[in-house]
Chain A
Amino acid sequence: MTTDLLADRVRSAVATVDDPEYPGISIIDLGLLESLDTTPDGHVAVGLIPTFSGCPALSMIADDVRRAVDDVNGVASVDVRWLGAPVWSVDRVTETARATMAREFTVAVRIGRGPVACPRCGSPTDERSMFGPSRCRAVHTCPTCAEVVEVMRA
């Protein structure tokens, strides 16, 4: 058994952990995984970064990751840590996750300061509330299709 294979298996296990806010979207696709180190004798260190300082799900996510990695064949120990840097940003959200968010949750991801495209019809949306149902989402509406759009933003 080589370390590389162990790292791959551990990474796959971490990928099974979903963000509690977005069931079906992996924390890896949201850009939460920053580092993953394995030793030849099976010791694993996972470094995560939070989307926001006050995220109430940090313990839950760390526990889920610990459990998932613990079950991997060849893992002797696992250390999961929340890192202080880098600062998470929406740029870390993968295209796959963006597509799922748009389709399943009517959530758009805001990149930069430009207009946000409605996940339903593509028109530029209007900001209604800078703060939304969870800390990382603003509320917009689409003037074209009248959809309410939640916008994940930095």
Chain B
Amino acid sequence: MTGLGSAVREFLLAFADDEHLIGQQHTEWIGVAPFLEEDLAFSSIAQDELGHAAALYAIVAGDGDPVDDDLRIDDLAFGRAPEDWRSAQLVEITSDDWAHALVRHWLYDAAEQLRWEQVAQSSLTPLAEAAARAEREEQYHRRHADGLLDVLLPVPDSGDRLRTALADLLPLAVGLFDPVAGEAEAVATGVASAPFDSRLDEWTDRVRRRFDVDPARFLPAAPTGRLDRHPDFGPLLVRMREVIDLDPAAIW
């Protein structure tokens, strides 16, 4: 997209980075999820999130066509130094417990729905189009996470594990709503309809209803920001770069 200002570019990168990393995190459950349907679910959901990331990177990199912009997308997705990422720490941390992964999936997707809504009427046409495609896919993601939580939250042991994961994840999940660089410019130019933190109350309300807890108990006193990477990010980036490090010109 020619003429995309650097501020709007930053704004879109934060969204793209979150989508990329949550997609990557979900892929790491393929083959080790607790049952076959979950292998399938996490692989499909991961594929969608990576598709959303590719669509967003394509808007940042070029004209919004994920195939045309393949190599430029790779540069953004794999070529940046850690300090140039704008991801939230929620999607950077390693989840080696399935309850943890499931709660993160729910928290992230509840926020993601609101985030796409913020750009559904975007002045940036490819972004509005990506939002329309994404929402159709996200309905399934939310149904998946909610369906499991409906069954597992009332079970004593499962419910305890899920609530423990929630307490651990909530402070980081709120970081999804931290104002990102370029957001003011994005709102001023109609790329987004309003600052994302204007939806925070709606999200915390959903969390309260879903888990029957008061999220305020877990919220951080100050924004966590998107400029500092979580210690888990370094090893994650190494895993993500395994193929490109072997063969920078690889096409797959």
Q: Is the CB of B137 within 8 A of A52?
A: yes
B129 near A: Cβ within 8 Å? Answer: yes
| A68-86 CB contacts (< 8 Å) to partner B | 81-82, 84-85
Indicate whether A131 sits within 8 Å of B37 (C-beta atoms), given known contacts A58-B67, A81-B68: yes
Residues in chain B near residue A84, CB distance under 8 A: 55, 64, 125-126, 129-130, 133
Q: Is the CB of A87 within 8 A of B41?
A: no
- Minimal beta-carbon separation of B146 from chain A (angstroms): 11
Cα(A22)–Cα(B13), bound, Å: 35
Cα(A97)–Cα(B137), bound, Å: 23
Residues in chain A near residue B129, CB distance under 8 A: 84-85, 87
Q: Is the CB of B40 within 8 A of A132?
A: yes
Stretch from B42-50, B217-225, B238-246 forming part of the interface with A: B42-50
Q: Is the CB of A54 within 8 A of B52?
A: yes
Main SS at interface, chain B: helix
Residues in chain A near residue B43, CB distance under 8 A: 131
- Minimal beta-carbon separation of A1 from chain B (angstroms): 30
Q: Is the CB of B137 within 8 A of A130?
A: no
Q: Is the CB of B144 within 8 A of A131?
A: yes
| B94-149 CB contacts (< 8 Å) to partner A | 125-126, 129-130, 132-134, 136-137, 140, 143-144, 147
B70 near A: Cβ within 8 Å? Answer: yes
Cα(A29)–Cα(B104), bound, Å: 38
Interface bracket on B: 35 or more
Residues in chain B near residue A89, CB distance under 8 A: 136
Residues in chain A near residue B143, CB distance under 8 A: 130
B182 near A: Cβ within 8 Å? Answer: no
A154 near B: Cβ within 8 Å? Answer: yes
A2 near B: Cβ within 8 Å? Answer: no
| B52-110 CB contacts (< 8 Å) to partner A | 52, 54-55, 64-68, 70
B215 near A: Cβ within 8 Å? Answer: no
| B140-160 CB contacts (< 8 Å) to partner A | 140, 143-144, 147
Of the candidates B44, B48, B65, B137, the one having the most CB atoms from chain A within 10 angstroms of its own CB is B44
Q: Is the CB of A129 within 8 A of B40?
A: yes
Residues in chain A near residue B67, CB distance under 8 A: 58-59, 62, 82
Q: Is the CB of A53 within 8 A of B44?
A: no
Q: Is the CB of B37 within 8 A of A135?
A: no
Residues in chain A near residue B49, CB distance under 8 A: 54
| A-B CB contact pairs (8 Å), 27 listed | A52-B137, A53-B133, A54-B47, A54-B48, A54-B51, A54-B54, A55-B51, A58-B67, A59-B67, A59-B70, A59-B251, A81-B65, A84-B55, A84-B125, A84-B129, A87-B129, A87-B136, A129-B40, A131-B37, A131-B43, A131-B44, A131-B45, A132-B40, A132-B44, A133-B40, A135-B48, A139-B40
A interface residues, Cβ below 8 angstroms from B: 52-56, 58-59, 62, 81-82, 84-85, 87, 89, 128-133, 135, 139, 154
